[in-house]
Structure 1
Amino acid sequence: MGKVRVLLADDQTVIRDALSTYFLNDDRIKVVAVAENGHDALQKTEQFSPDVVLTDLNMPVLSGQELSVRLRQLYPSVKVIVLTMINEDRHVKKALSTGVDGYVLKNSEKSELRAAILQVMSGECYFSPQISHKIMNNLASRIKKEHVVVEMPLSLREKEILRLIVQEYSNSEIANELLISTKTVDAHKRNLMEKTGSKNLIGLAIYAVEKGLV
């Protein structure tokens, strides 16, 4: 298998240069292009066919938020990871609404960014711990006040898998826990997303907490 092809989109030259050096000698990841704004990123996605686009949120011409929407429409197989310093709730929720595959803070270690890229390429989502905890804690607090309990037409096995998703189990960990294959886990996750209207795994977790199912 070849290296994961990455496109970096950020309006700051120093950030683009720094991130490019991260993976110069990496045996699994290769930066194939950099872009200074969302419009530039779209053009270079067409030109270089990256597997993953790392994008900042605040960029001129076309923002990271708008870029994520366009990439989903034009290149649905391309994975999108937001890489930003912004961790306010409203920005996080807005980014998640576009169905991004990951959300990583710029103050994260190089090892975390590398892990995020490889994890989304394996079919999982990745969100920096600060982001996951912020969302889940805010939702849990709101639900505790509202006492929201809503039944969903889910099977017992789907509820088991949903519980493990909320606990941040990977596909292989869920398979080992429930003694089923990873393909079966994938099938259940697709069914869960269809039933709940979620766009990704973090969306499933949010839905489960909002509905008081976990």
Structure 2
Amino acid sequence: MIKISIVDDEALFLEGINLLFSIVENIRVVSSTTSAMEMIDKLSNISKVNFPDIILVDILMKPVDGFELVERLKKKYPDLKIIILSSHYKQNVLGHMFKLGISAFIPKNANKELLVNTIESVYKTGVCFTKKDHEMLIEFMNSKIKKPTLTNTEELSEREKEVLKLICLGHTNKKIADKLFLSKRTIESHRQRIMQKTGVKNTVGLVIYAIANHIYKLPIHYYTV
């Protein structure tokens, strides 16, 4: 069962989304609210068993908008998966949100299949991109973001690149260890060194770093809107 929370200041839209998920067997809404601050409070007080795997966030909200909410959530819960569900599906918005560490961006006019498939994909692999996302994100990175540089002069080793590719595929440390015939502790050490060298703080950041440095090519999901 995938546990999700939703924050959107349009009460009617929020009610509709809750109704939609009430008939989806493998997704359960554990909390929903029209206020970003209320969502922050809910997460601070929610039990571990009901803590969401994924949060769906709108962008245009007051007084705290989606940009600020995502930034706050990623600071407090760096591994929390966040999906943006917004009508403001533009290159600069998409690019900025991915820099903040979101896992996916869904237009509000998306159909049920895209919404459910994106949630399932993010739950399994950590990120989900459509073909359009991929094109917009690559163009944004090429035009507005300088290629990320390592925090020191040491480059990633071939083994670290191999581990990074498997991290991008959503594999756990244990699964990577099994694939590479190494111990879990060794993989944990590789992951830590990769994060130190790249200067990123979470898995989404590693994925974006790997894409920008041509270490990993995005799997593109050909869902229709």
TM-score for both structures, normalised by structure 1: 0.72
Within a 5 Å distance, the mapping from 1:1-214 to structure 2 comes to 3-48=1-46, 49-51=50-52, 52-76=54-78, 78-122=80-124, 124-139=126-141, 153-162=155-164, 169-171=169-171, 179-180=179-180, 187=188, 188=190, 191-201=193-203, 203-208=205-210, 210-211=212-213
Letter in 2 for 1:121: Y
- The 3 A distance-change label for structure 1 pair 101 and 139 is closer
User: How far apart are residue 60 of structure 1 and its match?
Assistant: 0.8
1:186 and 1:128 map into 2 onto residues whose CA distance is 30
Please list every run of 5 or more consecutive structure 1 residues that lacks an aligned counterpart in the other structure: none
Count of residue pairs brought into register by the alignment: 205
Percent of aligned pairs with the same residue? 25
Q: Determine if contact 2:92/2:140 at 8 Å carries over to the other structure.
A: no
Q: Determine if contact 2:95/2:140 at 8 Å carries over to the other structure.
A: no
User: How far apart are residue 105 of structure 1 and its match?
Assistant: 2.5
2:33 and 2:187 map into 1 onto residues whose CA distance is 33
- The 3 A distance-change label for structure 1 pair 186 and 105 is farther
- The 3 A distance-change label for structure 1 pair 66 and 170 is same
Greater RCO, CA 8 A, separation 6+: 2
2:129 and 2:183 map into 1 onto residues whose CA distance is 23
- The 3 A distance-change label for structure 1 pair 104 and 206 is same
User: How far apart are residue 96 of structure 1 and its match?
Assistant: 2.3
TM-score for both structures, normalised by structure 2: 0.69
User: How far apart are residue 125 of structure 1 and its match?
Assistant: 2.0
SS of equivalent to 1:171: coil
Please list every run of 5 or more consecutive structure 2 residues that lacks an aligned counterpart in the other structure: 217-225
